[in-house]
Structure 1
């Protein structure tokens, strides 16, 4: 470990980058860190994440920063809101509450595995059952 790293650990515990990473961020701080990858970035509020709202996020399309104390921590952002995995609107709209809540990158619970939609599977099973019943009834009617 270098002398500088040892001093930082003695003084404040964590290096500045680790302190920044662990602190809650506004939307503009989060997007500024991801500045070159901010287009099509999926973000969600910490509030939604803690409440368990899956597949609820914004897909950021445009960001306009304002300088505040020589840092781009304010501004406006536009994106498409996805609620339960479905887009609420076709066009990007202004993302409200960028300074109010803690924001984080959205990680889909289905990225690491196979997505299984139970409702869709049940509808397919009902349809298959109905078609089999109709086929059997036609066969019986044809025999008589």
Structure 2
């Protein structure tokens, strides 16, 4: 069974790009989160963490509010740094959502 992204790529002319929400490339946090139906519990990390050999670090998103078709908004969650929970108590606002590129899942140290 083909994914929605694959189906749309077949149907759209090659000159027409997919909408940002459907691209699987690294993007800002809100674009990554808006690709999934339920953001609660989703794990995301900044791409640069993998480049700096930081592994098993991620934000576990608890809630998000989107604006501008999922390109902007606000997101809250809990930070896990090198496998340990850093955020204690209430959820924390996720900073750098537009400034950095984000991907799904925990960070993995890249091979040199």
Q: Distance in 2 between matches of 1:33 and 1:73?
A: 11
Structure with more helix by fraction: 1
Q: Post-superposition, which runs of at least 4 consecutive aligned residues in structure 1 deviate over 6 A? A: none
Show the 5 A alignment for 1:105-116: 105-107=104-106
Gapped regions of structure 1 (runs ≥ 5):
110-144
Aligned residues: 98
Q: Distance in 2 between matches of 1:6 and 1:26?
A: 26
Does the 8 Å CA contact 2:55/2:106 hold for their aligned counterparts? no
Q: TM-score with structure 1 length normalisation?
A: 0.58
CA RMSD of aligned residues (A): 2.7
Q: Distance in 1 between matches of 2:70 and 2:23?
A: 15
Structure 1 residues 72 and 5, CA gap change in structure 2 (3 angstroms): closer
- CA offset at residue 65 of structure 1? 1.3
- CA offset at residue 55 of structure 1? 1.3
Bigger relative contact order (CA 8 A; separation at least 6): 2
Q: Distance in 1 between matches of 2:13 and 2:78?
A: 41
Q: Distance in 1 between matches of 2:10 and 2:87?
A: 48
Structure 1 residues 33 and 88, CA gap change in structure 2 (3 angstroms): same
Q: Distance in 2 between matches of 1:89 and 1:73?
A: 26
- The one of 73, 83, 94 aligned to 2:81: 83
Could you say which residue in structure 2 is the equivalent of 1:101?
100
Could you say which residue in structure 1 is the equivalent of 2:44?
43
Q: TM-score with structure 2 length normalisation?
A: 0.73
